[in-house]
Amino acid sequence: MWNGMGWNGMGWMGLWGLLVMVGIVLLVVLVVWVLVGGVGSSGRRNAARSAARQRLDERYAGGELTTEEYRERVRALEED
């Protein structure tokens, strides 16, 4: 079973190879997680804020809001 080398003849080199492979997989997962917006929900929050700003712009352009109301609401969006 151990054959004097351990783990069916793999020895320590096999263990290091396995650890390197696991490290590479974890690194790839971490990079994908960060690029997708993993830390917090800031990406989703910015998308929601952008959609709200777009709707606000449309309402202002359509005459539903006065300039003062528009500016006040834009400031409120930027504060969050």
Give the pLDDT score at 21: 94
Determine the structural domain holding residue 18 and report its residue range. Answer: 1-39
The answer to whether the beta carbons of residues 44 and 37 sit under 8 Å apart is yes
Identity (one letter) of the amino acid at 77?
A: L
Give the pLDDT score at 59: 92
pLDDT band, very low/low/confident/very high, at 7 (cuts 50, 70, 90):
low
The answer to whether the beta carbons of residues 53 and 77 sit under 8 Å apart is yes
Query: What is the arithmetic mean of pLDDT over 65-80?
Result: 88
pTM: 0.43
Name the domain count of the chain.
2
Enter the tokens of residue 46: 């910015």
Residues 44 and 78 placed together within one structural domain of the fold: yes
The answer to whether the beta carbons of residues 28 and 49 sit under 8 Å apart is no
The answer to whether the beta carbons of residues 7 and 14 sit under 8 Å apart is yes
Residues 22 and 50 placed together within one structural domain of the fold: no
The answer to whether the beta carbons of residues 27 and 36 sit under 8 Å apart is no
Query: What is the arithmetic mean of pLDDT over 20-28?
Result: 95
Query: What is the arithmetic mean of pLDDT over 25-43?
Result: 78
